[in-house]
């Protein structure tokens, strides 16, 4: 029992709900309440872009919540011409419940379904972005529900690989229950993959990201290495330019989305 509690605190270091700006007036997000497959009530921000050319659901890292994402959402909107849905896993921010691997993945899939229904598209029309543990969630989402493209930032091959690198004296591969085996799950997704990683990532070594990239069966994939980048560094403008060009190529090859993106007139659940 003690081992499980220690693992949860390390894998899910949930920040205080009081942290961050929950009402960024300059962004004006719509608060969304939705439910996971096991009926856990979840919270997210929906940020509509009237000039959107793509739809993105964003899976944040394990030390963040929705209120930390305002600046990132603005960058994604402006650089990628996107409508964004960013949500909190169970136990994070205003979402109910307690986090664990199966639950967090179910939460991500519920968020993807919510955005698809909201916009009147299929889940396969949604771009999935995930950072760190959010990449582990995103890989599972793409494997189960498809994606227009999968974008991974600072993501590990398996959580047990990253933990073993940080704590080589502990038997983490034997005792961890939150394993996030993206090496196995990514084999189910053959769509476009864009993966970014810092060369000096001190949490997830670059070699683990390369290992995951090589395991991907996608015929359209690109690895973007940030020189001297660390795990929690902000990405340079060149990263967003490269990602935008990649997504433009995806759009050229994929079936067209409605123009302008069609939105269902559906009242937000409160």
> Average pLDDT for residues 195-220, to the nearest whole number?
97
Tell me what the pLDDT averaged over the chain comes to: 92
Q: Would you say 1 and 236 are in contact if contact means Cβ atoms under 8 Å apart?
A: no
Q: Is residue 179 part of a domain?
A: yes
Residues 131-157 pLDDT 10s: 999 999 999 999 999 999 999 999 999
Number of domains forming the structure of the chain? 1
Q: Is residue 193 part of a domain?
A: yes
Q: Is residue 47 part of a domain?
A: no
Q: Would you say 149 and 112 are in contact if contact means Cβ atoms under 8 Å apart?
A: no
The residue range of the domain holding 212 is 52-82+124-252
In this structure, of 23-27, 144-148, 250-254, 262-266, the range with the lowest mean pLDDT score is: 262-266
For helices 70-80 and 237-253, the axis angle rounded to 10 degrees is 50
d(CA 81, CA 129): 14
Q: Is residue 270 part of a domain?
A: no
> Average pLDDT for residues 96-107, to the nearest whole number?
97
Residues 41-96 pLDDT 10s: 999 999 999 999 999 999 999 999 999 999 999 999 989 999 999 999 999 999 99
Determine the 3-state secondary structure of 57 from DSSP.
strand
What pLDDT does 254 receive?
87
> Average pLDDT for residues 234-255, to the nearest whole number?
94
pLDDT at 168 over 50: yes
Best CA proximity match to 153, nearest among 138, 166, 141, 165 = 138
The whole model's pTM is what? Answer: 0.93
Q: Is residue 118 part of a domain?
A: no
d(CA 128, CA 126): 6
Q: Is residue 103 part of a domain?
A: no
What pLDDT does 225 receive?
97
| Token digits of residue 258 | 């409605």
Q: Is residue 10 part of a domain?
A: no
Q: Would you say 58 and 69 are in contact if contact means Cβ atoms under 8 Å apart?
A: yes
Alpha helices in the chain (DSSP H): 2-11, 70-80, 101-119, 133-145, 159-166, 172-175, 182-185, 206-215, 237-253
Q: Is residue 42 part of a domain?
A: no
pLDDT at 10 over 50: yes
What pLDDT does 259 receive?
64
CATH at 215: 3.40.50.1820
């Amino acid at each position: 029992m003690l081992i499980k509690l220690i693992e949860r605190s390390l894998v899910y270091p949930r920040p205080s709900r009081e942290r961050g700006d929950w009402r960024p007036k300059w962004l004006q997000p719509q608060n969304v309440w939705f439910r996971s497959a096991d009926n856990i009530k979840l919270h997210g921000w929906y940020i509509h872009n009237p000039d959107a050319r793509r739809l993105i659901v964003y899976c944040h890292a394990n030390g963040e919540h929705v209120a930390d994402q305002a600046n990132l959402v603005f960058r994604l909107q402006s650089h990628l011409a996107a409508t964004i849905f960013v949500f909190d896993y169970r136990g994070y921010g205003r979402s109910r419940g307690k986090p664990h691997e199966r639950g967090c993945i179910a939460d991500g899939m519920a968020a993807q379904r919510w955005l698809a229904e909201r916009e009147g598209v299929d889940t396969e029309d949604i771009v999935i972005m995930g950072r760190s543990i959010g990449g582990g969630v995103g890989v599972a989402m793409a494997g189960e529900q498809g994606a227009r493209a999968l974008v991974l930032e600072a993501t590990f091959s398996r959580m047990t690989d990253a933990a073993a690198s940080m704590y080589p004296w502990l038997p983490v591969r034997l005792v961890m229950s939150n394993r996030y085996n993206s090496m196995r799950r990514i084999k189910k997704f053959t769509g476009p993959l864009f993966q970014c990683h810092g060369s000096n990532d001190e949490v997830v070594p670059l070699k683990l990201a390369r290992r995951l990239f090589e395991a991907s069966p996608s015929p359209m994939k690109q690895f973007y290495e940030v020189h001297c980048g660390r795990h929690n560094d902000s990405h340079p403008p060149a990263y967003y330019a490269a990602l935008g060009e990649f997504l433009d190529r995806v759009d050229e090859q994929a079936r067209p989305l409605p123009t302008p993106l069609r939105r269902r007139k559906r009242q937000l659940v409160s």
